[in-house]
Amino acid sequence: MTDGSAAAPTVPDRRIEQNRRKLELLLDSVFRPGDWAATLAHGVGLQGRIRPSVSSFHIRQPTLAKRPPLRIGFASDFHAGATTHPELLADACNALAAFEPDILLLGGDFVSVRASYIDRLAPLLAAIDAPFGKFGVLGNHDLRADHGLVVTALEGAGVRMITNEHVTLAAPFSDVTICGLDDPTRGTPRADRALDGVEGTRIVLMHSPEGLKAIGDRHFDLAFAGHTHGGQVAMPGGKPVLVPGGHLNRVYCSGCFQIGCDTPRMLLVSRGVGCSTIPVRMFAAPEVHLCLIS
């Protein structure tokens, strides 16, 4: 792993990237009219139903006064667009609101292909109450689109974007700092800016497990990531058929993992909400998370 002081983005070959973008636009033009593909797939159950997941983590801070558990709502990979049915987006946001989170963390890939699709999602995120803040980072799909438009809409929904920076929560959670990393595929993650000098509990928000390379040996208590979709299409039992490129994306495809032994660091990788490229999920159900931090 690198030291994270100036981690370079993993930039695909320009020609491959251009061809990928052309394919995405072509598929979007086919699937977009009347949202027919997402409507059909959702109607026959091929986009899955949102699974709310609840996890508890105990992080020892013996020098601090006892405080109530911090309720973190987390979701990633909404992929608002022609491949994700609007009802799936609404169900995900309703489940997040039902968690009654203190903070809401959003792991990127808010849209697929076109930035204008953020208008389908932003009002739903705006309606979620998170009294101690909503925080987000961008994903590779956001950065391939007009991400300025995506950021503007999210900020209008009350989401603070924390790219290579950190923010400490207000009391009674002032021992907790949220550290946001840029996307490792299309951006430049700077763990030095996001984590160095942060005291107390470090919560990392990143789009992809590949962000661990930028973090290196730095300590964190809990990290959130998405990007992998759990394969989006998997074998019965959940073994993914195809995972996005990157060794750590394959190692940490979905679920909760302990990183290291001497100073354990926990990583939660979500399968996400929506569908990318094709409007189908199989044996990789969409999910949102509630994590209780005490």
List Cβ neighbours of 40 (8 Å cut-off, separation of 6 or more). 279
Residue given tokens 């072509």 in the structure block: 26
pLDDT tens-digit profile, the chain (294 residues): 555 544 444 444 667 777 888 888 999 999 999 999 999 999 999 999 999 998 888 776 555 557 899 999 999 999 999 999 999 999 999 999 999 999 999 999 999 999 999 999 999 999 999 999 999 999 999 999 999 999 999 999 999 999 999 999 999 999 999 999 999 999 999 999 999 999 999 999 999 999 999 999 999 999 999 999 999 999 998 899 989 989 999 999 999 999 986 778 999 999 999 999 999 999 999 999 999 998
Handedness of CA 199, 96, 116, 284 (dihedral sign): positive
Q: Compute the distance between CA of residue 82 and CA of residue 277 in angstroms, rounded to an integer.
A: 9
User: Topology of domain 14-293, per CATH?
Assistant: Purple Acid Phosphatase; chain A, domain 2 (3.60.21)
Helix (H) or strand (E) holding 70: strand 70-75
- Give the domain ranges of the chain: 14-293
